[in-house]
Structure 1
Amino acid sequence: MNKIATIIVFTLLVLDCFSQSTESSYEQVKQLAKEKKYDQAEKLCKEILAKTDDGDVRFYLGLIYSWSGRYDDARNEFQKLEQTRPNSLELTNAQYNVEYWSGDYSAAITILDKSISKNPNELDLLIKKAKMLNNLGKRKEASATIEKVLNKDPASLEARLVYAQIKNSNTQNTISANFTYDFFSDSTNPWYFSYLQYSRKTRIGTVIGRVNYANRFNSNGFQAEADSYLSFWKGGYTYANIGFSGSSIFPDFRCGLEYYHNLPHSFEASLGFRYMKFSSSDVLLYTGTVGKYYKSYWFSIRPQFRFRNGDVSYSFKLASRRYFSDPETYIGVEVNFGTAPDFDHQNIDYSYLARLKSWGAKIVYSQRLGQLWVISSKVGFDRNEIIKNSYRNQYTLDVTIAKSF
């Protein structure tokens, strides 16, 4: 009997030591993840799981994969936990985040619906579902879902904000007014630019009409432009531009075309061109983008290339944004450098500046005011080489006000 008791006590001590060791390793995993040392945290999780199938460790491994953007691996780990944690809201939210961050809103709704059927009084799940429905353009279903939340909790600030976003997304028309002021470190007179723009949402995208005004080089001028962002099939959309002007400070004619396509893991890529015809020259630029959404952040890089008489000029624009409560509220940074001017921004014939260096940066801020107004602004600095080894600083202030109806 004493031998049996000894064996039992010894076994309990071993199990207790193993439990303490696992718990210590698990705390180490969380600390490594907190320090964003995901590779080390993943390795330690796998070492623990090789010894015991610990649900908490497996769940945390799934979180590490999702934070690292390895969404398929995260899905696999979370699916293994569905049978042992069928009613876990923590697991539901982790799976929802994977689909939301990867841009698969339909899959996110499927996950939410499973949990809502078991937890009908969890209003946070209904709020998330309303957001996803709105992202998919299902406005009526989104409105009905968020109204369920407001009927149960009229004081919910988050639900009221989502409701306002849904109602605002139902507006089809927007009028925008812009004013841009550029001044320089040398004797160049300030430049003034402004536009009045009308845009309308259609079943297949957005069409835009715009009248530009500029005062540069002691001359005034107007330009008429039209843009469109149209989606003809799932997974992509096309940008098109055309413009005309009789003023010497704008191109006589300009056009552009670019196709954007959604890629796995919240990436987006595009390829296109811009063409401008001036009285004394023409400009053809090849361009494109690679963009990435990560949680509430967006990153992109846009190159532009011009090939002329065996010479190549180029520019690169790097951009990043941090979104807040809605797509119109964000703060961002833009950095540009290269030997080809930013023709989309300047809209001026800079052929005589070919292969001269330039670089600059802008801080961008946009804020929704109420349900229908948006104000955005940019503050920028550019340093341009206008003659060999001769530089000029350019400072930019830009403000845009838009109202939807």
Structure 2
Amino acid sequence: MKNGLIYISILLLTPYFGVQNLHAQSINTDSLIVALVADTRDQKNPQEIINKAHQALKIAPEYWDYYVVMGQNFERIPVVDSAQFYFKKVIENTDKYPEVYNYLINSEITNQQYEAAFSTIEKAKTTYPEKASYYDEKKLRIYNAQGDEKAEIELLEKLLNSGSEDKFMKDRYILLANKIKNDRIGFQYFNTSFNRDGYGPWNQFVLQYIRSRKWGTLVTNINTMNRKSANEADVNGMQFEASAYIFTTKTNYVFVNSAFSNNKVYPKYRLGGSYYFNLSSKWEMNAGVRFTQTTNENFTSIALGTGVYYKAFWFNLSSFYQIDQDKVNPAFNLTTRYYFGSRFDYLYSILGYGTSPDDDATAGLYENRVSLSSYRMGVGISKTIQTHYIVGCQFLYNNQEYVADKRQNEYELMLSLQYKF
């Protein structure tokens, strides 16, 4: 009888202790994954983490957090095949871990498994359509690694037009856009009027051809000028100008410029160059020199500048330093652009001080103005119309000292039209 009571007691208590044991295992499994995630984050021994995770999976084979931890730590060893096996195991069985797609895609890109990465990206976009743009950004890494600049710029334009304000993408897009093959012919008209009686207006016409290739961009101009004055005969002139932007690395480039003329409306010769280099995905610096030969004098200027992207904005500060008889004559220009489409679609503003050797409209008077003060401000727009046409308009106000202690107001209107083919 006593043995019977013992047997019955065992039967009654076994379910209780079994449940308690399973519950204890569940608690231990939960506690362990928290510890292993922390160890992974702290970069502790990956093999020890894998061993502990493997033991936990024997107790809870569908506890997907352990598969994630296993994949992360096999990636650290690295054992790529095993890492990707555990990431794929999670993806095949649950959609609760979107970060695992990121781990797997990064692993495939790092190991140059580009076709597999494209496939994983498309699956991720199907599973999480609200994150489609995020996963498309992964494709940019692949195109960059493959050197497929055409595919990269097409995707960049799509992402930027969809509302992305990523600074790196905008910087990269503008850089690549300058390397994509295209040709443009254009025409510009400048009208400058003055508040000084009997002086002006000035009219300048520019015929332009721009050729962009993978190596860089070539710009050629034919500039013509007519200056009127009530007290003297009209002054007319023509200038031939060529500039080039030549890439030296994926992000750095050289700017060179030359121009010549045989009349006093423009300088006789102008030569210059600057080297542009990127400090990061946002900042660009440049340094160079300008040489200007007028009818009576030669001038050499140092050019320094910096530019930065912030969201949809681009800020550029350029400065020039002309040393003349132990005196430094500086000139500054701050240009701000707001991009609202392609690299040809933007609003811009200009603030400036002094006379720059790069200013075509006043280049013929450079020797007269370089030591005099001036303050300018302006606004403008550039806009693409029907794919092939780029139109522009700018208004600039300049308060100019024309002789010592005497000033005049100048109002410049610029209209431009380019055809892109």
TM-score of the superposed pair, with normalisation by structure 2: 0.61
Alignment check: 8 A CA contact 1:175 1:403 kept: yes
Question: Equivalent residue for 1:179?
Answer: 189
1:318 Cα deviation from its structure 2 partner:
0.9
Note the alpha carbon deviations across 1:122-143, whole angstroms, 9 max, x for none: 4545765678889998355358
Q: How far apart in 2 are the matches of 1:281 and 1:303?
A: 21
Q: 1:370 to 1:170 in 2, by over 3 A?
A: farther
1:170 Cα deviation from its structure 2 partner:
5.2
Question: Equivalent residue for 1:288?
Answer: 304
| Equivalent position SS for 2:343 | coil
Q: Does 1:203 align with 2:218?
A: no
| Equivalent position SS for 2:273 | strand
1:88 Cα deviation from its structure 2 partner:
5.7
Question: Equivalent residue for 1:376?
Answer: 392
Q: Does 1:116 align with 2:121?
A: yes
Q: Does 1:141 align with 2:141?
A: no
Q: 1:264 to 1:192 in 2, by over 3 A?
A: same
Note the alpha carbon deviations across 1:249-293, whole angstroms, 9 max, x for none: 111111111100011151000001111111211222211211001
Question: Equivalent residue for 1:344?
Answer: 359
Alignment check: 8 A CA contact 1:262 1:269 kept: yes
| Equivalent position SS for 1:292 | strand
Q: 1:329 to 1:140 in 2, by over 3 A?
A: closer
1:85 Cα deviation from its structure 2 partner:
8.2
1:354 Cα deviation from its structure 2 partner:
4.1
Structure 2 spans left out of the alignment, 5+ residues: 1-94, 103-113, 164-173, 229-233
Q: How far apart in 1 are the matches of 2:162 and 2:253?
A: 31
Q: 1:270 to 1:145 in 2, by over 3 A?
A: closer
Letter matched to residue 124 of structure 2: N
Letter matched to residue 328 of structure 2: V
Letter matched to residue 322 of structure 2: R
Letter matched to residue 193 of structure 1: Q
Alignment check: 8 A CA contact 2:205 2:225 kept: yes
Q: How far apart in 2 are the matches of 1:125 and 1:353?
A: 52
Alignment check: 8 A CA contact 2:306 2:317 kept: yes
Alignment check: 8 A CA contact 1:210 1:224 kept: yes
Letter matched to residue 201 of structure 2: P
Q: How far apart in 1 are the matches of 2:196 and 2:135?
A: 58
1:169 Cα deviation from its structure 2 partner:
8.2
| Equivalent position SS for 1:279 | coil
Q: 1:132 to 1:401 in 2, by over 3 A?
A: farther
Q: Does 1:360 align with 2:365?
A: no
Q: 1:130 to 1:171 in 2, by over 3 A?
A: farther
Q: Which of residues 232, 244, 263 is equivalent to 2:260? A: 244
Greater CA drift, 186-195 or 118-127: 118-127
Q: How far apart in 2 are the matches of 1:381 and 1:132?
A: 45
1:213 Cα deviation from its structure 2 partner:
0.7
Letter matched to residue 214 of structure 2: R
| Equivalent position SS for 1:348 | helix
Q: How far apart in 2 are the matches of 1:292 and 1:119?
A: 34
Alignment check: 8 A CA contact 2:272 2:289 kept: yes
Question: Equivalent residue for 1:75?
Answer: none
Letter matched to residue 385 of structure 1: E
1:233 Cα deviation from its structure 2 partner:
2.3
Alignment check: 8 A CA contact 1:129 1:142 kept: no
Alignment check: 8 A CA contact 2:348 2:379 kept: yes
Q: 1:168 to 1:238 in 2, by over 3 A?
A: closer
Alignment check: 8 A CA contact 2:124 2:135 kept: no
Size of the alignment, in residue pairs?
289
Q: 1:298 to 1:258 in 2, by over 3 A?
A: same
Structure 1 spans left out of the alignment, 5+ residues: 1-83, 93-108, 150-156, 160-164
The residue correspondences of 1:384-403 to structure 2 (distance < 5 A) are 384-403=400-419
Q: 1:129 to 1:356 in 2, by over 3 A?
A: same
1:349 Cα deviation from its structure 2 partner:
3.2
Q: How far apart in 2 are the matches of 1:335 and 1:177?
A: 25
Alignment check: 8 A CA contact 1:315 1:342 kept: no
Q: How far apart in 1 are the matches of 2:177 and 2:407?
A: 49
1:353 Cα deviation from its structure 2 partner:
3.3
Letter matched to residue 327 of structure 1: R
Q: 1:140 to 1:326 in 2, by over 3 A?
A: closer
Q: CA RMSD in A?
A: 3.6
Alignment check: 8 A CA contact 1:130 1:143 kept: no
Question: Equivalent residue for 1:16?
Answer: none
Note the alpha carbon deviations across 1:160-186, whole angstroms, 9 max, x for none: xxxxx9999855211111001000010
| Equivalent position SS for 1:391 | strand
Alignment check: 8 A CA contact 1:192 1:214 kept: yes
The residue correspondences of 1:197-276 to structure 2 (distance < 5 A) are 197-217=208-228, 218-276=234-292
Q: 1:170 to 1:228 in 2, by over 3 A?
A: closer
Q: Does 1:308 align with 2:324?
A: yes
Note the alpha carbon deviations across 1:103-159, whole angstroms, 9 max, x for none: xxxxxx9xx96972542334545765678889998355358979xx9xxxxxxx959
Greater CA drift, 344-353 or 167-176: 167-176
- Greater C-alpha radius of gyration: 2
Letter matched to residue 207 of structure 1: L
Q: How far apart in 1 are the matches of 2:139 and 2:260?
A: 43
| Equivalent position SS for 2:248 | strand
Q: 1:248 to 1:296 in 2, by over 3 A?
A: same
Q: How far apart in 2 are the matches of 1:393 and 1:360?
A: 10
**% identical equivalent positions:** 23
| Equivalent position SS for 1:280 | coil
